[in-house]
Amino acid sequence: MKTGILFHKNPFKPSTGIDIVRLKAISKGLIEEGMDTEIIAPVEKEGIIDSIPVKPLLYLNKNRYDLLKTCYHFSIELIGDYKGPVVSRIVRVVDEIFPLRDEKIRHRLLKCQELISKHASVISLNNRENEERWRYFYGEKLPVILTPTGCPEIIPPSQRNPYRSDRKILLFIGSICAGRMVKILNEISERFLYTAEIHYIGRSKLEFYDGGEKLSKNIVCHGELEEDKIWDYIKYASAGIAIATGPCPFDNDMSKIMNYLRGGLPVLSEEPIVNNELIRQLDYGKIFSYNNMDDLVIKGEELLNNPPSDKREHIMAFMAEKHSWKKMAEKYAELFKSLCS
């Protein structure tokens, strides 16, 4: 059985985003499950990335694959005349109004969802909020599988404390993809000016969404870092920050929370982020009310002054066992075999 993972960007280009992390993790996981798996992408020539074969799009026309998995909305645009089973994963189900931040690309996203509804054999979604939306807009015809964002089963051994300050550290990792994220981070940097240092690892994607102001000079920005280099920043921080993109739960599935917890870092997270249920389940962080900076400050100070450090090793082991990319790959492998049997 030969499986193709159809990806809409060039995976060889430098990137530290969750899209590339997930692509490589799931692909390697499928290979470890004994599945003949290749990434198919808009590349000029074939190659290897992290031991995973990468093929140009023209390989789709050679009927090489028993099954295709598409990644994100735009991958479906590359499917061409492929007629075999297709598993399509999308992060959020877009409608004519929400999410508001998608206005610039709404028409294209909706067109992709129509293509998915016609070509896919199974829809893969992160959470039940988006499953309900898919059912509402596209009916019950297609089966849905839930494949939440995962985390590494094994993380690199610690090297050193990367922070030059002996102050408490509030860490925000990942993409900035809504203007309100910048505003809240800037206000956090003001409210905690004499309490903690704010660090940011990642990049802004506001050019794709709704614009916005620049990050405050009070925030220490490290830019994008390779995943292996991020774990020490997580280990030596005091708390991780998760900020909602907006008021809709379906648009707030935050992969950063999985990495914070995998690295043993308690989380200061905003409602209505759907991963908050995991924080509550593990009792490893504080949830502050949506758009309520006073509540954020109160919860943040509680977390900084009384960190749940005695649970750290348990949390890390739990995440590795229950929420690893390996578990997601196993779930996909089982599904793929059933579709091709």
Q: What does the pLDDT read at residue 179? A: 87
Q: Are residues 265 and 179 in the same domain?
A: yes
Question: Residue 15 falls within a domain, yes or no?
Answer: yes
Question: Between the CA atoms of 30, 35, 36 and 37, what dihedral angle is there, to the nearest 10 degrees?
Answer: -20
Residue 317, C-beta contacts closer than 8 angstroms, at least 6 positions apart: none
Distance CA 209, CA 332 (A): 31
pLDDT tens by residue, the chain, 341 residues: 899 999 999 999 876 688 899 999 999 999 999 999 999 999 999 999 999 999 999 988 766 899 999 999 999 999 988 989 999 999 999 999 999 989 999 999 999 999 999 999 999 999 999 999 999 999 999 999 999 999 999 999 999 999 998 899 999 999 888 889 999 999 999 999 999 999 999 987 666 555 667 899 999 999 989 889 999 999 999 999 999 999 999 999 999 999 999 999 999 999 999 999 999 999 999 999 999 999 999 999 999 999 998 999 999 999 999 999 999 999 999 999 999 98
Helices (H) and strands (E) counted in the chain, each on its own, are 10, 14
Distance CA 250, CA 253 (A): 7
**Residue in 37, 106, 40 with CA at minimum distance from that of residue 71:** 40
Beta strands in the chain (DSSP E): 2-6, 36-41, 47-49, 52-56, 67-71, 86-89, 122-125, 144-146, 168-173, 196-201, 219-223, 239-242, 267-270, 285-288
Q: Are residues 146 and 173 in the same domain?
A: no
List helix spans (H) across 120-153.
Answer: 128-138
Question: Residue 159 falls within a domain, yes or no?
Answer: no
Q: Are residues 145 and 13 in the same domain?
A: yes
Number of folded domains in the chain? 2
Residue 142, C-beta contacts closer than 8 angstroms, at least 6 positions apart: 117, 120, 121, 122, 123, 134
Contact, 285 vs 269, CB < 8 A? yes
Q: What does the pLDDT read at residue 178? A: 87
Q: What does the pLDDT read at residue 120? A: 97
Question: Residue 304 falls within a domain, yes or no?
Answer: yes
Beta strands in 14-156 (DSSP E): 36-41, 47-49, 52-56, 67-71, 86-89, 122-125, 144-146
Question: Between the CA atoms of 321, 22, 264 and 273, what dihedral angle is there, to the nearest 10 degrees?
Answer: -100
Question: Residue 225 falls within a domain, yes or no?
Answer: yes
The whole domain housing 56 covers: 2-150+324-340
Residue 40: which CATH number?
Answer: 3.40.50.2000
Beta bridge partners of 324: 151
Question: Residue 86 falls within a domain, yes or no?
Answer: yes
DSSP 228-249: HHHHHHHHT-SEEEE--SSS-G
Distance CA 215, CA 200 (A): 10
The structure tokens 């998915």 sit at 116
CB-CB neighbours of 237 under 10 Å: 26
Q: Are residues 140 and 186 in the same domain?
A: no
DSSP-derived letter for residue 278 is H
The token pair at 63 is: 């009927």
Q: Are residues 304 and 248 in the same domain?
A: yes
Q: What does the pLDDT read at residue 210? A: 58
Q: What does the pLDDT read at residue 212? A: 62
Q: Are residues 8 and 141 in the same domain?
A: yes
Q: Are residues 119 and 221 in the same domain?
A: no
